[in-house]
Structure 1
Amino acid sequence: MPNREALQPAGLAIPKSPYSSVIVSGDLVFTAGQAPFDSDGNLVSDDFAEQTHQTLRNLRSCLEAAGCRVSDVLKVTAYIVDPADFATFNEIYQQYFTEPYPARATLVTNLLGFKVEIEAIARKP
């Protein structure tokens, strides 16, 4: 069985459901889906852009807890509720990720009370 370590980044709300925020296995880092919640677990805003920024900041905190940077991300999976927000999502995404961009899938789906969720797989430098 592969060795794995669960991490809880400082400043990130502790999950209420049974999952880890970050799992490190060897040099691979897997984040749970990050959502637009502040450190107290409160939704930051109803605005899609603000939710996306908070979600990406939370994702960055997960990566940093594992000794990674956003530039170490290999794959991103993003979930959005409204396809009309896709262009805004891409604009904000490019403020956090630069070329060469990670591989990415973006899905339109229902989420539990928020508008965006993002997870990533990274390799430690």
Structure 2
Amino acid sequence: MSRQGFTPEHAPLPAGPYSHAVRIGPFVHTAGQVGVDPESRQPREGIEAQTRQALENVRAALAAAGAGMGDVLRVGVYLTRAEDFTAMNAVYREFFGEPHPARSTVYVGLNPGLLVEIDALAVVES
């Protein structure tokens, strides 16, 4: 199977040697998406807005590769502050229905101004 890279139409070019999403057969994996507005290229204000934007960016990366949020099996969430977990989780619920994807949430250091990064693994019908 060949590996295909995808970049959503209005997304900024990747900041390094990676694709926004990669598909091999039925598997689609997104790169970590942050809460940066794709047009202004500035972080949204606050954890709720950054989480919502990060998930919209995940949705766009998946769509570019032919997948949707309903195809997601696993999500990785990376937070800079433990106290943001509840607010992130409330926004996250808006994007995924039951059964919810498997998820890991870890606390990390991100670039200044970034509060959350999210990636996803999806499987789509061939």
Q: TM-score range by the shorter chain?
A: over 0.9
TM-score where L is the length of structure 1:
0.94
- Give me the whole-angstrom Cα distance separating, in 2, the residues matched to 1:84 and 1:39: 26
- What 5-or-longer segments of structure 1 have no aligned partner? none
Matched letter for residue 15 of structure 1? P
| Post-superposition offset of 1:50 | 0.6
Q: Where has structure 1 moved over 3 Å in runs of 4 or more?
A: none
* Aligned counterparts, 1:1-125, within 5 A: 2-40=1-39, 42-113=41-112, 114-125=114-125
Tell whether the 8 Å contact from 2:54 to 2:117 is kept in structure 1 after alignment: yes
Tell whether the 8 Å contact from 1:51 to 1:115 is kept in structure 2 after alignment: yes
In angstroms, what is the RMSD of aligned CA positions?
1.2
TM-score where L is the length of structure 2:
0.93
Tell whether the 8 Å contact from 2:37 to 2:44 is kept in structure 1 after alignment: no
- Give me the whole-angstrom Cα distance separating, in 1, the residues matched to 2:58 and 2:40: 14
- What 5-or-longer segments of structure 2 have no aligned partner? none
| Percent of aligned pairs with the same amino acid | 36
Tell whether the 8 Å contact from 1:13 to 1:37 is kept in structure 2 after alignment: no
- Give me the whole-angstrom Cα distance separating, in 2, the residues matched to 1:8 and 1:71: 20
Matched letter for residue 120 of structure 2? A
Secondary structure at the residue paired with 1:106?
strand
Matched letter for residue 123 of structure 2? R
Count of residue pairs the alignment pairs up = 124
Tell whether the 8 Å contact from 1:29 to 1:66 is kept in structure 2 after alignment: yes
